[in-house]
């Protein structure tokens, strides 16, 4: 198997590192311009990689089996469609596309071409998230009753902070919900095995005017506010969502990109009839175990102590921390093993295009709920 990557920014580099770690050759790279692509090939030590000039050139490359799409949201659909039509499998960053019409088309096209499509919900692949799912499925906490938590960041805390994600024509009409809320909802539905059936959302733009730099800005880059133009913001800085899951499970999620000091704090808790579980992405090697009639506990990531279904996702022995880069490695191992096996009718353990479509269904329902100021029933 050989891969090509579209996008050489923050997440594109994460994909390239993970591909190297699992031994997948990178045939070529496509950046925003030919010059930037060539510079990235040099900077990333991709000496033998082709610097593509266009998606069409990449799609025509017969050596490429899989394409990783790591670009801004508004081009996901066109890029994925082009490479699927060329007979290549796709692993796309989320959101899969800008709306459910686009995601439905991609799900249908991948099925028509008998190709494998995946979405990079890599946070499932922290070892202790795998352990949490195994524990819930085994009945260790009984019947799940409540799921609650948040995903908080501060990288857009200041009016001087800027990113392409703030531009609705590039990032989409929902920002914080689509960018990080989809991770939280994917994790909690996957861990509990329940789907979200109804929701009621409060969504807000807390900083209505921001200062856009006149030059290019990298993701997470800090700015000084000089040489800018004021721009009215319409996408969300914050949202809180009440959630009804199948099986009478209740939940609530808060997401924010304006919470000072919270760099990347995804926290969830599942409360069951026999116990509770909780996990924090900023302390990812500890799973909290809650009890009523005995002392609470903590499971430190250790494959020797983990459930058989989860321990294979811990690459290192106990006491050796695993983090964000390792989640891409484990996701890619799952994905490439499935593609190489060649039985595309077999169940898929990784997040698929259908997962990506469901994420957009949820985003659109959250937008409707906030606008209508009421409960919305989910529709596919």
Which pLDDT score is estimated for 288?
98
pLDDT digits (tens, 9 = 90+) for 61-79: 999 999 999 999 999 999 9
- Of the chain, the end-to-end C-alpha distance in Å amounts to 34
Which pLDDT score is estimated for 247?
96
pLDDT band at 219 (very low <50, low <70, confident <90, very high): low
Which pLDDT score is estimated for 83?
98
Which pLDDT score is estimated for 225?
60
Q: How far apart are CA 96 and CA 92, in angstroms?
A: 6
List b or e across 294-330, with b for residues whose CB sees 16 or more CB atoms inside 10 angstroms: eeeeebebbbeebbeebbebbeeeeeeebeeebbbbb
- Which CATH architecture is the domain 3-115 placed in? 3-Layer(aba) Sandwich (3.40)
Q: Is 290 exposed, middle or buried (0-12, 13-18, 19+ CB in 10 A)?
A: middle
pLDDT digits (tens, 9 = 90+) for 94-147: 999 999 999 999 999 999 999 999 999 999 999 999 999 999 999 999 999 999
pLDDT digits (tens, 9 = 90+) for 304-352: 999 999 999 999 999 999 999 999 999 999 999 999 999 999 999 999 9
Ranges of each domain in the chain: 3-115, 123-319+357-372
Which pLDDT score is estimated for 351?
98
Which pLDDT score is estimated for 44?
94
pLDDT digits (tens, 9 = 90+) for 181-216: 999 999 999 999 999 999 999 999 999 999 998 877
Which pLDDT score is estimated for 358?
97
Q: How far apart are CA 364 and CA 96, in angstroms?
A: 14
Which pLDDT score is estimated for 218?
63
Any idea how long the chain is?
380
Which pLDDT score is estimated for 379?
76
pLDDT band at 238 (very low <50, low <70, confident <90, very high): very high
Please check whether residue 83 is in contact with residue 67, taking contact to mean a CB–CB distance below 8 angstroms.
yes
Equal CATH topology for 3-115 and 123-319+357-372: no
Q: How far apart are CA 71 and CA 76, in angstroms?
A: 7
Q: Is 110 exposed, middle or buried (0-12, 13-18, 19+ CB in 10 A)?
A: buried
Q: Read off φ and ψ for residue 213, nearest 5 degrees.
A: -65, 150
Cis peptide before 284 (omega within 30 of 0): no
pLDDT digits (tens, 9 = 90+) for 147-183: 999 999 999 999 999 999 999 999 999 999 999 999 9
CATH for 123-319+357-372, options being 3.30.360.10, 3.50.50.60, 1.25.40.10, 3.30.950.10? 3.30.360.10
SS3 call for 204: strand
Which pLDDT score is estimated for 143?
98
Please check whether residue 263 is in contact with residue 282, taking contact to mean a CB–CB distance below 8 angstroms.
yes
């Amino acid at each position: 198997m050989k891969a090509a990557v579209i996008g050489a920014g923050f997440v594109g580099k994460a994909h390239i590192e993970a591909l190297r770690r699992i031994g997948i050759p990178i045939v070529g790279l496509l950046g925003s311009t030919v010059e930037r692509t060539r510079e990235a090939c040099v900077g990333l030590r991709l000496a033998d990689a082709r610097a593509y000039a266009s998606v069409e050139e990449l799609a025509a490359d017969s050596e490429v089996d899989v394409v990783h799409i790591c670009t801004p949201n508004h081009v996901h659909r066109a890029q994925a469609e082009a490479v699927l039509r060329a007979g290549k499998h796709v692993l796309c960053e989320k959101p899969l596309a800008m709306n459910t019409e686009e995601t439905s088309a991609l799900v249908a096209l991948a099925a028509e071409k008998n190709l494998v499509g995946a979405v990079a919900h890599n946070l499932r692949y922290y070892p202790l998230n795998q352990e949490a799912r195994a524990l819930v499925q085994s009945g260790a906490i009984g019947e799940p009753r409540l799921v609650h938590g948040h995903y908080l960041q501060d990288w857009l805390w200041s009016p001087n902070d800027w990113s392409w994600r703030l531009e609705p024509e590039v990032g989409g009409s929902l920002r914080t919900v689509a960018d990080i809320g989809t991770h939280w909802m994917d994790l909690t539905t996957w861990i509990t095995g329940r789907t979200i059936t109804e929701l009621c959302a409060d969504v807000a733009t807390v900083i209505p005017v921001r200062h856009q730099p006149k030059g290019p800005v990298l993701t997470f880059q800090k700015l000084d506010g000089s040489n800018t133009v004021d721009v009215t913001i319409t996408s969300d800085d914050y949202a809180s969502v009440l959630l009804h899951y199948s099986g009478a499970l209740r939940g609530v999620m808060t997401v924010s990109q304006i919470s000072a000091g919270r760099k990347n704090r995804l926290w969830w808790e599942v409360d069951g009839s026999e116990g509770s579980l909780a996990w924090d992405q900023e302390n990812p090697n500890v799973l909290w175990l809650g009890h009523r009639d005995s002392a609470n506990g903590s499971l430190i990531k250790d494959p020797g102590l983990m459930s058989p279904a989860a321990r294979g996702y811990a690459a290192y022995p106990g006491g050796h921390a695993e983090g964000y880069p390792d989640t891409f490695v484990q996701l890619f191992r799952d994905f490439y093993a499935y593609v190489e096996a060649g039985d595309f009718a077999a169940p898929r353990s990784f997040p698929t295009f259908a997962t990506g479509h469901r994420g957009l269904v949820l985003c659109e329902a959250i937008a409707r709920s906030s606008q209508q100021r009421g409960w919305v029933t989910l529709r596919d």
